[in-house]
Amino acid sequence: MELPAQVIETLTDWIDDNLHKPLRIDDIARHAGYSKWHLQRLFHHHKGESIGRYIREKKLRLAAQDLRATNDRVLDISMKYGFDSQQTFTRLFTRKFQMSPGTWRKQGGTPVNHC
Could you give the domains of the chain? 3-53 (1.10.10.60), 58-102 (1.10.10.60)
Q: How confident is the model at residue 47 (pLDDT cuts 50, 70, 90)?
A: very high
* 7-34 tens-digit pLDDT: 899 999 999 999 988 899 999 999 999 9
Cβ atoms of 101 and 74 within 8 Å: the answer is yes
pLDDT at 1: 56
* Residue 55 DSSP label: H
For the whole model, what pTM was predicted? 0.86
* 79-105 tens-digit pLDDT: 999 998 999 999 999 999 999 999 999
CB within 8 Å of 107: residues ≥ 6 apart: 99
pLDDT at 67: 96
